Amino acid sequence: MPCDLILALDVPTREAAAPLLRSLRGSVRWVKIGLQMFTAYGPDYVREVAGLGFQVFLDLKLHDIPHTVARAVESVASLPIGMLTLHTAGGREMLTAARTAQEQARPDLLLLGVTVLTSMDAAALAETGVTAAPEAQVGRLARLAAESGLLGLVCSPLEVPLLRAQLSPGIQLVTPGIRLAGESGGDDQKRTLTPAEASRAGANYIVVGRPILKAKDPAATARSILAELGQKPEISDQK
């Protein structure tokens, strides 16, 4: 199945993001706006990035009581976004409330359930009282999300084969924890694969941040990743 690239726009300021976004127009289609940029600049920044021609993945990882999460989904549904995250650990009632709100407000918005953060390993889970291995916890939360009506999940690329074996083939899988071949570790991602490995495993989207953001030539790195995924940019870089 085809796999697409999402840029994680994890930079400190919109000024730092501007030249990067200009260089990536026409190659990268999706941009992930997370808590750092959203809390700094708010909904207007989502509109700004969408106005540049990118599809926006809003990564807020909503997690609260069902009513509050449902109202939050309704609020952000008015923004030009294609994906929105929430924590599956919020439970069935919260997930169902979010899905109902999404269906009523924006039927085309893809809700993504976050299972186990890619920064967490078995030891980190155990500290929170979860004694199951990460892959077992991912499977449990993924099934809960699917039963609650969610059509997409965020998971480590290492758990993609597990979820493909357990869930409907229509479930969209988004995988952070992507590192380029030969790239050293040293950051907070613990469960990683390369772009090609994640694609072969069955991911629909891969989320890439640091390998592009820290590259000497981010646009060239993005094109290389797209080529690894079997895709070609539609047009050349826009300056």
Per-residue model confidence as pLDDT tens digits over 132-182: 998 899 999 999 999 999 999 998 888 899 999 999 999 999 998 887 866
Taking the CA atoms of the chain, what radius of gyration do you get in angstroms?
17
Mean pLDDT of 77-87: 98
pLDDT at residue 74 in the model? 97
Q: What are the two backbone dihedrals, phi and then psi, of residue 109, each rounded to the nearest 5 degrees?
A: -80, 130
Which H/E stretch holds residue 61?
strand 55-62
pLDDT at residue 118 in the model? 77
Q: How far is CA 229 from CA 93, 150, 162, 233, in A?
A: 37, 26, 21, 11
pLDDT higher than 60, residue 208: yes
pLDDT at residue 234 in the model? 55
Neighbours of 109 (CB within 10 A): 18
Structure tokens at 92: 């069935």
Global confidence as pTM: 0.90
To the nearest whole number, what is the mean pLDDT of the chain? 90
Mean pLDDT of 180-205: 73
> What is the CA 87 to chain-centroid distance, rounded?
12
Mean pLDDT of 99-122: 94
| Domain residue ranges of the chain, discontinuous segments joined by + | 4-228
DSSP annotation of 79: S
182-198: string of b/e by CB count within 10 Å (b at 16+)? eeeeeeebbbbbbbbbb
DSSP annotation of 77: T
pLDDT higher than 70, residue 185: no
Q: Among the listed ranges 98-102, 132-136, 204-208, which one has the minimum average pLDDT value?
A: 132-136
Catalytic residues: 61
Nearest to 209 by CA among 4, 11, 2: 11
pLDDT at residue 44 in the model? 97
Grouping H, G, I as helix, E, B as strand and the rest as coil, residue 226 is: helix
131-144: string of b/e by CB count within 10 Å (b at 16+)? eeebbbbbbebbeb
Mean pLDDT of 66-95: 97
Mean pLDDT of 201-223: 92
pLDDT higher than 80, residue 232: no
pLDDT higher than 70, residue 192: no
Please name every residue paired with 114 in a beta bridge, in sequence order, or none if there are none: 87, 154
43-68: string of b/e by CB count within 10 Å (b at 16+)? eebbebbbeeebbbbbbbbbbeebee
Cα-based torsion angle of the residue sequence 192, 220, 82, 196 in order, rounded to the nearest 10 degrees: -40
Comparison of pLDDT for 134 and 52, the residue scoring more: 52
Class of residue 123 by CB neighbours under 10 A (exposed 0-12, middle 13-18, buried 19+): exposed
Comparison of pLDDT for 155 and 82, the residue scoring more: 82
Q: Among the listed ranges 69-83, 97-111, 170-184, which one has the minimum average pLDDT value?
A: 170-184
pLDDT at residue 181 in the model? 67
The string of pLDDT tens digits covering residues 112-140 is 999 988 788 899 999 999 999 988 999 99
Question: How far, in Å, CA of 235 to CA of 216, rounded?
Answer: 21
Q: Tell whether domain 4-228 is in CATH 3.20.20.70.
A: yes
pLDDT higher than 50, residue 238: no
pLDDT higher than 50, residue 36: yes
